[in-house]
Chains A and B, each alone.
Chain A
Amino acid sequence: MKISVIEQEFTKAYDQFADAIFRHCVFRVSDREKAKDITQVSFVRLYDYMSQGKEIENLRAFLYRIANNLIIDEYRKKKTDSLDRMRDEEGFDIGTESMKDIETKDEHGRAVALLECLPEKYREALVMRHIDGLSVKDIAHLTHETENVISVRIHRAIEKLQRLNVQTPQHG
């Protein structure tokens, strides 16, 4: 009975947060397949942690932390690859299945393209704040930074994007 309780809790967590974690990953790694992999591994890690009988205070923040650590690992791996090759693949496939029309696809692509221009730290903070809708406090907690640092990063990220937008005009 206890076992099924943990399984139930885990399935519930998956149903509730799978999309959010996946979205976060997509905007962080700009690759749908990689984002899927990271989402899956995040939930496997979550289950392993739960099944060891450890306490989880905030499941949502915990999941974001796992995903974030996995993404950081992914970036470290990427560094060993050729950065130039990564640039060449900029026009990635976001998967048409979930994109209902060209407009949404366009919006999505634009958002991803914008985020890709940002340094990793800024991107992390911005995605968490405005795409995942986490509070500054939560972001600070799960990235082990102070709230002030996170606020500054978000601000600078937006500033930078504004400047970029000025340099590269967008179609309204």
Chain B
Amino acid sequence: MFKLPNMDNIIKQLKNGAKHTRLSFSEKSEMKNVLLQHVRIHPVRGREGSQRASTSNGDNPANTSVFQKKSIPSPFSIQSFRNTKTLPILVIVGLLMGGSVSFAAEQTVPGDVLFPVKVHVNERARGAVAITPKAKAEWDVRLVERRLLEVEKLAADTSAPSETKAIAEKNFKDYSERVKNRISKFEKDDDSHDAIETAGKFSEMLRKHEGKFEKSDDPASRILKEENLIVQNSTTTVDASDPALLAPMSFDEDEQLKEVHEKVREMRNETEKKQKELKEKYRKEEVQNIVIETLQSKEVKRALKENTRREEIRSIFEKNTENNSKKSDKTDDN
């Protein structure tokens, strides 16, 4: 049977052919499983809130609006460093910076940006290495020296504000206090040897720094300085022969140095006194020990002497009895 299909017929043919064309139930669920697996392997990332696909049957916009809010990713989130080279670079930069920062911090004084790094990072790290109480005490003495150096540095710096100088001096006092506490703790623990040693080191260090002040403080140089100032004030054409010695120094600066000097001397005297006390106490103990020892040794000697005397007496007595018996034997023979 032949038929000439018209336009509608063609379309009908196509539609009929497509009517039952679909995925079988098993095919559909199998494909769904594969897709869900893909979903699980590639979880949603990034700006997830913004992708609302409005389906052809149209979702109610009021229902989906909650999810349309864009979540702003945090710039500090570790996620933003994932799968990039940024993280290792940051780590390397951090390490390099850390090293150079702590090195740069070594030369700082209170009021500098890196001063907290010096005190809280560098010194704490180095202090952690000291384990025994003695090592800790030594490190504390070293810290006082560091504080003292800062005070000196600031005292010599005319542009430094007085507040920072006050802080530096307070630091010096606080740290000295720590050393003193260490010494008294040694004393309490009957560790007099360590106490004396620490006190000795402390006073030695203080004396060393005092010496520095004395150099700049000694009358001869001061007169020279003052003269120079006068000369400089009167005639500006005078050439300085020794720039270091003739460097203009304000009286204000001198005053400050003197103050610091005074404080250091005070501290040193205090420590030396303490050291002497300790030594005396220790010596007394030693003397007592020696006395006890000598007394003991005397007793022993006396006992020994007695013993030997007894022995001697016994031997004499034995000899006598022997002699007597010999004599009696002889008389018997006769």
Contact residues of A with B, CB < 8 Å?
2-3, 5-7, 9-14, 16, 18-19, 22-23, 26-27, 36, 39-40, 43-44, 47-48, 50-62, 94-95, 97-100, 104, 107-112, 114-115, 126, 130-131, 158, 161-162, 165-166, 169-172
Contacts and interface: CB of A to CB of B under 8 A. Distances in A.
A126 B14 CA distance: 9
Interface in B54-73: 54-57, 67, 71
Given A51-B48, A54-B51, A3 B18 contact: no
Interface string B65-103: 001000100000000000000000000000000000000
A23 to B, nearest CB: 5
B230 interface: no
Given A12-B55, A19-B28, A172-B1, A26 B39 contact: no
B24 to A, nearest CB: 5
Chain A binding site: helix, strand, loop or mixed by DSSP? Answer: helix
B51 A6 contact: yes
A166 B46 CA distance: 58
Interface in B37-59: 38-39, 42-57
Interface of B: 1-7, 10-11, 13-24, 27-28, 31-32, 34-36, 38-39, 42-57, 67, 71
A18 B25 CA distance: 11
Given A18-B23, A104-B19, A161-B10, A2 B53 contact: no
Nearest to A44: B38
10 contacts: A3-B43, A40-B35, A50-B53, A54-B50, A59-B56, A61-B56, A107-B19, A111-B14, A114-B14, A170-B5
A131 B15 contact: yes
Contacts of B18: 23, 27, 108, 111, 131
B38 A162 contact: no
Nearest to A138: B56
B10 A18 contact: no
A108 B14 CA distance: 8
A110 B13 CA distance: 8
A108 B23 contact: no
B67 to A, nearest CB: 5
Nearest to A20: B22
